[in-house]
A and B are shown apart, each in its own frame.
Chain A
Amino acid sequence: MIRPRSVAFVAIVFAVVYAIAYVIAVWKNVPVFTYHPIAGTIGLGVEKPHDGPAMYWFGWMSTAAIAALAACLVASLVPERIARRLGSAWAWAVPVGVLLFFAYLLRGYFLR
């Protein structure tokens, strides 16, 4: 059975890894799949647009989800005495940093 502090540890790891993996997936364009909404088809990895636009957003989320779930699996095995060392502030500090990074990444839209 997972102890309460370990649940907190896993939740913090999820927030941190999901946010970081998502921003990297967007920044480096690493989607698990590409969705072509007009054709209604899905292709593995990055595919160029054909028959209309290509959507990577769902693929980026999936990339981040895979990374975060893998990290949570590892985190659930970490002994509680080590899990206790991770401060709860990471759960919001990293996502806030990611929000700011996205604002920086997309600054071109606002500075034209």
Chain B
Amino acid sequence: MFIVLLIVHGLFAVALLGAITHQAVSTWLPGQRQAGSFTGRFRGVSAAGYAKAIVVLYVCTAILGAIIYPEFRISIRGVLDELDAPAVMGAFELKEHFAVVGLAVLPAYLYFWRLPLADEYRRTRMALTAVLAFITWWNFLVGHVVNNFRGYAA
């Protein structure tokens, strides 16, 4: 059951990563809607349309992470301690705290992305999106490193 939940947690994280990256790039480096290139189309998406999906995906990913966290604490953390990998453990500790900070900004993020978009909050939207994108990327990469670390170490 733990493995199933871990995989579902990972799948939600992949979807979240795609959505927040699309939104962050189209917010910070907006492109033309009718762009012909792949990068142009990537940058030209409607950023506001991702906001609700990002909130739902973030919450679902966080809930699944919280459900499997006790099993990690019981079975896996001890192994990491034995492998003497303080940087990996530190990165995971940051992941758990960063995830909570991400939850804290979600209501404000959702509010400032509501339609119609207010021009006065453009910088706030950019910053909140960047914060969530950073947290999502950090947590995704660290989750994968921790998940695979025993294999790397071996």
Q: A residues engaging B (CB < 8 A)?
A: 7-8, 10-12, 14-15, 18-19, 22-23, 26, 35, 37-38, 52-53, 55, 57-58, 60-61, 64, 68, 88-89, 91-93, 95-96, 98-99, 102-103, 106, 108-110, 112
Contact = CB atoms under 8 A, between A and B. Distances in A.
Contacts of B135: 99
A14 B123 contact: no
A20 to B, nearest CB: 9
Q: Contact size class for B?
A: 35 or more
Interface stretch (B15-23, B28-36, B44-52, B89-97): B89-97
Q: Is the interface of A mostly helix, strand, loop or mixed?
A: helix
B104 interface: yes
B107 interface: yes
Nearest to A58: B66
A4 B13 CA distance: 32
Nearest to A91: B108
Given A53-B73, A92-B131, A95-B131, A22 B100 contact: yes
